[in-house]
Amino acid sequence: MDVQIIDKVFRPFISAEQISEKVQELAVRINADYAGKRPLVIGILNGSFIFAADLFRGLTVDAEISFIKLASYKGTSSTGNVVTAIGMEENLKDRHILIVEDIIDTGKTLSSFLPEIHARQPASVKIATFLSKPEALQHEVHADYCAFEIENKFVVGYGLDYDGLGRNLPALYILK
């Protein structure tokens, strides 16, 4: 059934069952890749909180989790917009970091934020994203784990919002 959020109508796109199956598949791959490594999962708020929770529950390896918010502010004209992390208190040095995002759209957010992670000298950095829109990608960002590649249209649900609403929808909906 379609859902209306404020002024827009969305139609069902990916069911809760399909999501759950795919997220579990990613968890299985992560468990194999991180055996014995005690990764630090870093979820990017707000959008990733449901995906991060489901993915994390699927982990059977020893793992830690923490969440950060990204704030973007205007840098100088040469640096453009700068993205900085709020709430990153963990020491990342020599840790295996798994960044968890809701969606990679243009890739701008992650590409501007990743240098900040690398500067802290982690042992490794990988990215898990719930969604990616390959047609929208403009920056060089590579997701190591991606649940679904989708067309270049606006989606809501499973943590993703339209103007603050729709995050609680258990399935994914796409703009009609």
**Residues identified as active-site:** 105
* Piece of the chain touching ligand 5GP by CB under 6 A; list 6-14, 59-67, 87-95, 103-111: 103-111
If contact means CB under 5 to 8 A according to the sort of partner, which of ligand 5GP, Mg ion, none does residue 160 touch?
ligand 5GP
Applying CB under 6 A, among 108, 116, 120, 126 the residue interacting with ligand 5GP is 108
CA 175, CA 166: separation in Å to the nearest integer? 12
What ranges in the chain are assigned the alpha helix state H? Answer: 16-33, 49-57, 108-118
**What is the DSSP secondary structure assignment for residue 141, as one 8-state letter?**
-
**DSSP H or E run through 58:** none
Applying CB under 5 A, among 39, 43, 47, 157 the residue interacting with Mg ion is 47
Residues 9 and 2: beta-carbon distance below 8 Å: yes
103: nearest Cα among 59, 156, 63, 40: 156
Applying CB under 6 A, among 20, 60, 81, 106 the residue interacting with ligand 5GP is 106
Report the length, in residues, of the chain: 176
Applying CB under 6 A, among 50, 104, 146, 169 the residue interacting with ligand 5GP is 104
CA 95, CA 149: separation in Å to the nearest integer? 28
Per-residue contact flags (x/-) with ligand 5GP for residues 25 to 64, judged by CB under 6 A: ----------------------x-----------------
Residue 143 one-letter amino acid: A
116 binds ligand 5GP (CB under 6 A): no
* Piece of the chain touching Mg ion by CB under 5 A; list 12-20, 46-54, 89-97, 146-154: 46-54
Per-residue contact flags (x/-) with Mg ion for residues 100 to 119, judged by CB under 5 A: --x-----------------
CA 11, CA 26: separation in Å to the nearest integer? 26
Minimal distance, residue 72 CB to ligand 5GP, in Å: 9
156: nearest Cα among 37, 8, 39, 35: 8
Q: Could you list the residues that contact ligand 5GP (CB under 6 A)?
A: 47, 102-109, 154-156, 160-162
